Chain A
Amino acid sequence: GAGVSQTPSNKVTEKGKYVELRCDPISGHTALYWYRQSLGQGPEFLIYFQGTGAADDSGLPNDRFFAVRPEGSVSTLKIQRTERGDSAVYLCASSFTGGTDRSNYGYTFGSGTRLTVV
């Protein structure tokens, strides 16, 4: 697609429920990133995929958070037993990295999913 697409744009859920957030990266972008932006803060790194595998998941706050990218394109961020503190905007970004080619350092971000846990 023309840009990074995130669905839904808004999600309201009850405390304790399970949610899934979807990210459609730019076609051909091999790297995909999830960030979380709380109110008044800058985005915080959650997890990064290179192809189908999670290259770095050090930012996931706890085991309630999980992300997959089974075919190396679309990714789903899954949050179990949601808590009010999970309320934030979840941003997805993608970029093209061609193996050892590190000449492109651009990241394209989606508009985000605003998650509200009530």
Chain B
Amino acid sequence: AQSVAQPEDQVNVAEGNPLTVKCTYSVSGNPYLFWYVQYPNRGLQFLLKYITGDNLVKGSYGFEAEFNKSQTSFHLKKPSALVSDSALYFCAVRPHNTDKLIFGTGTRLQVFP
């Protein structure tokens, strides 16, 4: 079965420190990979995507993610966290043969001042 795993329900980090939110996937073939962020009472906002090419993808608000095919991972990273980054983050995968996204269960990022 195709799936996305976000092993951490919550990640806590101090402001100014680097952050990592983990994501692994299980799909056949080469998928398209996405990260979305969700603020309270707001819709999902697109952060970045991996389609093909360079394994390191840079996105909005200073976030980046690295596609690792051998580990089937697409971890989200930011060199220096901000309090305003506190939100719910979702990893999603779109298999090549479909137009629907498969989401992970989400990771709540809490950045402390």
Which residues from chain A sit less than 8 Å from chain B, CB to CB?
4, 31, 33, 35, 40-45, 48, 50, 55-56, 59, 91, 93, 97, 105-112
A111 to B32, CA, bound (A): 24
- B:97-113 near A, CB below 8 Å: 98-106
CB <8 Å contact, A107 and B105 = no
Cα separation A41 to B92 with both chains bound (whole Å): 13
B contact face: mostly helix, strand, loop, or mixed: strand
Task: Determine whether B58 belongs to the interface, using a CB cutoff of 8 Å to chain A.
Answer: no
B32 nearest CB neighbor, chain A only: A105
Q: Closest residue to A3 on the B side, CB-wise?
A: B43
**Which residues in B have some Cβ–Cβ distance to A below 8 Å?**
4, 32, 34, 36, 41-46, 49, 51, 90, 92, 94, 98-106
Q: How many A-B residue pairs have CB under 8 A?
A: 58
- Option from B36, B100, B104 in Cβ contact (under 8 Å) with A45: B100
Q: Find the A residue at minimum CB distance from B94.
A: A105
Nearest B residue to A112 via CB reads B43
Contacts of A56 in B (CB 8 A): 98-100
Cβ-defined partner of A43 (8 Å) among B41, B44, B49: B44
| B99 contact from A55, A106, A109, Cβ within 8 A | A55
Least Cβ–Cβ distance between A89 and chain B, in angstroms? 9
Residue among A40, A44, A109 making CB contact with B43, cutoff 8 Å:
A109
**Chain B: which residue is nearest A59 at the CB level?**
B100
User: How far, in Å, is A6 (CB) from chain B's closest CB?
Assistant: 8
Q: Tell whether, in the assembled complex, residue A44 and residue B103 are in contact, meaning their CB atoms are under 8 Å apart.
A: yes
Q: Is the CB of B51 within 8 A of A48?
A: no
Contact of B103 among A31, A43, A105 (CB under 8 A): A43
Instruction: Pick the contact of A48: B4, B46, B99, B104 (CB < 8 A).
Output: B99
| Set of chain B residues within 8 Å of A4, measured between Cβ atoms | 43
Q: Of residues A4, A42, A44, A93, which shows the largest number of chain B Cβ atoms within 10 Å of its Cβ?
A: A42
Bound complex: CA of A108 vs CA of B34, how far in Å? Answer: 12
CA distance A111 to B36 in the complex (A): 13
